[in-house]
Amino acid sequence: MPTLILVDIQNDFLPGGRLAVAEGEAVVPVANALMQRADHVVATLDWHPADHQSFASQHKGKSPGDPIELNGLAQILWPDHCVQWTGGAALAPGLHSARIDRLFTKGEDPTVDSYSGFWDNGRRRQTGLQAWLLAQGVQQLWICGLALDYCVKATALDAVAAGFACTVVLDGTRAVGRSPGDGARTVEDLQRRGVRVAHSADL
């Protein structure tokens, strides 16, 4: 059976959160059902210090959604979210968290954002997820969580690059959708780059 990666199913990405994804709560029951069908379950957590430079609040005159350059990388500014040790950074309360074998945090370096569960955006530092998966002999991954067009996408592409067979579970994810059609374009890009996309009922 595959290993399931739950990407950032945290309060700040759910309705009422600081960076809420539309219908984000819908991924929770899908994730819970998938856990029963997986050999291992791991979860990633956005885990930002309060002064993270991806936050618009750290840049005078800037607003969430504004593009900047951050240490040589293109960066979209976000509202403060998933700040370490706050309720917004906690896993969704309806998630069966006792079934999770390991948690991997990301986004702790205030100078670089980190969408993928494997690497930061500058590919300077790994989270430890890849080494853990290899140590367990994992070959096949299912990925769900938030959000499809950012952290789920980046995690899936890094998984394929590392040699894992990877499926993004479409009904177990939702897109931020900053622009119309972002979700559909993300699915096309994932498929073009070697990621399988499927609904949970078809797995």
What is the per-residue pLDDT across 61-101, written as a single tens digit (0 to 9) for each? Answer: 999 999 999 999 999 999 999 999 999 999 999 999 999 99
What total of structural domains would you count in the chain?
Answer: 1
* Positions marked catalytic: 8, 106, 151
Has residue 166 got a pLDDT over 90? yes
Containing structural domain, residue 117: 3-49+80-202
User: Would you state the structure tokens that stand for residue 157, as one six-digit string?
Assistant: 């592409």
Name the pTM for this structure: 0.96
Residue 61 in domain: no
CATH number, domain containing residue 187: 3.40.50.850
Q: Tell me, yes or no, whether 74 lies in a domain.
A: no
In this structure, is residue 160 part of a structural domain? yes
In a domain, 67, yes or no: no
Q: Rounded distance, CA 157 to CA 116, Å?
A: 8
